[in-house]
Structure 1
């Protein structure tokens, strides 16, 4: 269980890092440089044009993953009852929805042929943290059953 706790605590560092890491590079024309877009810069841009959508992204990409990670840590430390694991799993599904939306955006932008969009290392980091969190949830549930 100590390894699971340490790995889960590491996610509390990796999630904020992934929010500021470049998710994608985008540009209108191949001749010009590409702008790096992070989750945080995307939210800031959305906030100026569509506050409701910015709030949805904040909930799915920031609040849900951190709440899930903190909840799982509380269960691992036996501060919260293991009966909370199903709710923690739901938070993980909300967090995974954001990864899907980012990937969908990249596919749509590439398919439209309007400009250029490339995934950046932050997208892989964010995806890996979400998937690691999912694996830690499963491992914690199994560990608590035994």
Structure 2
């Protein structure tokens, strides 16, 4: 069951990256623009390359590589001694969720525009938390 759930995450992550995380607009009268991990990354790439690379690592590479490495451990293709490094990748992926939540809180506090969370934020958060839970269960199985 854990193997299937972990493999499902490898497919769900790309969906979460393209799903709308939030909707933002300057004023309630104007249309709301949907922002996903990929559209946000594209905008960052044009304005701040270093920040874009950091977001790409935390939002894309860390969670997906962690899930892939955990699958390799589960199927016996990677030694279980790699599990602490895999768990570290999962913790780095959680940093992205924290940053998104911080940005939403700051933007709402300023009160200039309007921000609404969208279903992609919940999907992305669920993927990260499910991956964390799977790795914790997997770590306990090894002891």
TM-score tier by shorter-chain length is: over 0.9
Does residue 68 of structure 1 match 2:66?
yes
Ranges of 4+ aligned residues in structure 1 off by more than 4 Å: none
Does residue 102 of structure 1 match 2:87?
no
In the alignment, structure 1 segments of 5+ residues that lack a partner are none
In the alignment, structure 2 segments of 5+ residues that lack a partner are none
TM-score (structure 1 length as normaliser): 0.96
Deviation of residue 144 (structure 1)? 2.4
TM-score (structure 2 length as normaliser): 0.98
1:138 counterpart residue number = 136
Deviation of residue 142 (structure 1)? 1.6
Instruction: Give the total of aligned pairs.
Output: 143
Does residue 117 of structure 1 match 2:124?
no
Task: Supply the RMSD in Å over aligned alpha carbons.
Answer: 0.6
- Structure 1 residues 112-132: Cα deviation after superposition (integer angstroms, max 9, x where no partner): 001001110000000000000
- Give the 3-state SS of the residue equivalent to 1:117 in structure 2: strand
2:26 counterpart residue number = 28
Does residue 52 of structure 1 match 2:83?
no
- Structure 1 residues 68-127: Cα deviation after superposition (integer angstroms, max 9, x where no partner): 001100110111111111000110011000000001000000000010011100000000
Distance in 1 of aligned mates of 2:140 and 2:35: 38
